[in-house]
Chains A and B, each alone.
Chain A
Amino acid sequence: MGIIRTKDVVFEYIRRDEEGNVEGIVKAVDNVSINIKQGDFIAVLGHNGSGKSTLAKHMNAILNPTEGTVWVDGMDTKDEKEVWNIRQTTGMVFQNPDNQIIGQVVEEDVGFGPENMGVLTKEIWERVEESLRAVGMYEFRKHSPNKLSGGQKQRVSIAGVLAMHPKCIVLDEPTAMLDPNGRKEVIRAIRGLNQVEGVTVILITHYMEEIIHADKVFVMDQGKIAMEGTPKEIFSRVEELKSLRLDVPQVTLLAYELQKKGISLPNGILTIEEFVEQLRLTMTGRRTTVE
């Protein structure tokens, strides 16, 4: 069994009118069964209201399914005894960094999680140091979080989760409010976490270019998993993604537009290097197979 597994998960919101009568039921998550392997980098795409965030909140027992079951490292999230263990296994990072930072000093903020878990003081300091180093914020440990840029604050939030030694981190649009540099810093930190620290990452985003290195992508629509595959497989389906209100990275789109104009290029090009290489093959007429 994977680190996070869901089986036939349904989550319903009940809509009520002003008198409190039930007006209708909205299925925000509709029959989702997924299995996430320890150490994977998973991306979740989907338009606003597709159910991504609702599903994510099931991964550390903020929400419990109306039907079906969610297991986090083998623990059923409906089991109230396990709630704290589940939340230590899966950490969450949200969109707005200002809502997640509570300490007056960076290192104090990062130490908050392990302190609440009852970790010994000496070990708290060790964890604070290693977490801040992992996201490249160690030199800012004595700073006030208020004086940091958005990308820096978001990395401090990630360090705060990391200090709890989770096996898995769920990030819900962590770059939505950041400038280009901030986005780059945060994505780099997340990739490092996954590749160096071996933490399972589940990244929810609206920026397509952020997920080209993911091991697997889930696309959600109307609470269901609409598409599933590697970034290359997913981004080869340009029209289908557009019909789901999504997009592809600019380089993928450019290759797709050129294909439509009769230039032979393979589907699902994800990086600039790949594009240049493939275009070179096309021009020298040395392409032997068109995928």
Chain B
Amino acid sequence: MSMIIDHVSYIYGEGTPLEHKALSDISLNIPDGQFVGIIGHTGSGKSTLMQHMNGLLKATKGHIYFNGEDIYDSDYDMKKLRSRVGLVFQYPEHQLFEIDVFSDVCFGPRNLGLERKEVELRAYDALRKVGLDDELYYQSPFELSGGQKRRAAIAGVLAMKPEILILDEPTAGLDPKGRDEILGQIKRLQVQTGMTILLVSHSMEDVAEYVDRIIVMNQGRIMLDDTPREVFRYYKELEEVGLAAPQVTYIMHALREEGLNVDADVTTIEEAAAELVRVLKG
């Protein structure tokens, strides 16, 4: 049970003068329950790749297998795929439209043709999972704060009970606390329900803090695919493709250059503090 992407390529506008190769020969295996970060500069192919995962785009070449089935088989049920692979776009709050938060979250499961009771149970469950206060359930979604709106929108996708949840920069424009709250909730979701999470992010600090594995995209290809510790070891190569490492990585490298024998591969503040205490207090 997992998603396998097998030699996938995608060309926008094939056969036209604007032809552009967005993905080149991508192969990935995403096992159940993993928290995966996807990083890459604007235009590196991250969003194109994500849209393949729930069938919004069809690969020009290659295959995608979800739970062992080829999603490009003529009798494959794309609708089922889309309910199992939930996609939260950038600024998802722009897609809120119902009169109250609760109805908005019900919209997805209702369209799956479920019974009313099941729809409402799922909506309550999803709203609880994103940590939205119940006094907000019957308010207009437009009266919520930025962070609350975003959570309501994520709940709308969770109510579809996806096995894989893909989030495209879910924290853009939120204040630091709002960022921590949303990512903390997503992490809990992954730990408690075993849901697979794919997080597209421009924040190296966030990625280092939360994910098990990082996929680095560049020019439609996978440049690196490993744990945060291993990936950020290549901080110079990352800079060349418009990315960076968390600031803490640079601090540790600067200390090493000063002759302090610290482990420069730590990627979070917590790890760095522990490492420095170890070295300083011996």
Contacts and interface: CB of A to CB of B under 8 A. Distances in A.
Interface of A: 46-49, 95, 149-151, 173, 176-184, 206, 208-209, 242, 245-247, 249-251, 253-254, 257-258, 261, 263, 272-273, 275-276, 279-280, 282-283
Main SS class of interface, A: helix
Q: Is chain B's binding surface mostly helix, strand, loop or mixed?
A: helix
A250 B42 contact: no
A275 B174 contact: no
A94 to B, nearest CB: 11
**What class of interface size applies to chain B in its complex with A?**
35 or more
B176 A180 contact: no
25 contacts: A46-B175, A48-B173, A48-B174, A48-B175, A149-B41, A149-B42, A151-B42, A177-B90, A177-B172, A180-B202, A182-B42, A206-B176, A245-B175, A245-B177, A245-B178, A246-B176, A247-B176, A249-B247, A251-B248, A251-B251, A254-B269, A254-B273, A257-B273, A272-B250, A276-B251
Contacts of A47: 175, 177-178
A48 B242 contact: no
Contacts of B280: 263, 282-283
Contacts of B205: 250
Interface string B36-51: 0000111100000000
A173 B173 contact: yes
Given A245-B178, A282-B280, 10 more contacts: A48-B175, A149-B42, A178-B202, A180-B243, A181-B242, A181-B244, A184-B244, A206-B174, A250-B248, A263-B280
B254 interface: yes
- Nearest 7 Cβ contacts at the A-B interface: A245-B177, A181-B242, A247-B176, A250-B247, A47-B175, A48-B146, A257-B273
B220 interface: no
Contacts of B147: 48
A209 B204 CA distance: 13
A254 B43 CA distance: 33
Contact of A180 (B204, B270, B272): B204
A177 B205 CA distance: 16
Interface of B: 40-43, 90, 145-147, 172-179, 202, 204-205, 242-244, 246-248, 250-251, 254-255, 258, 260, 269-270, 272-273, 276-277, 280-281
Contacts of A249: 247
Contacts of B90: 177
A276 B41 CA distance: 30
Contacts of A182: 41-42, 242
Contacts of B145: 48-49
A149 B198 CA distance: 23
Contact of A208 (B176, B178, B250, B281): B176
B41 A181 contact: yes
A273 B242 CA distance: 23
A250 B172 contact: no
A258 to B, nearest CB: 6
B91 to A, nearest CB: 9
Given A177-B172, A181-B243, A48 B178 contact: yes
Contacts of B281: 263
Contacts of B269: 250, 253-254, 257
Contacts of A283: 260, 280
A280 B243 contact: no
Given A181-B243, A272-B251, A263 B174 contact: no
A149 B43 contact: yes
A275 B251 contact: yes
Contacts of B43: 149
A181 B202 CA distance: 10
A245 B244 CA distance: 25
B247 A246 contact: no
Contacts of A280: 258
Contacts of B243: 179-181
Contacts of A242: 177
A180 B242 contact: yes
Nearest to A249: B247
A283 B147 CA distance: 43
Contacts of A95: 173
A254 B205 CA distance: 13
A251 to B, nearest CB: 6
Contacts of A245: 175-178
B38 to A, nearest CB: 12
A251 B254 CA distance: 12
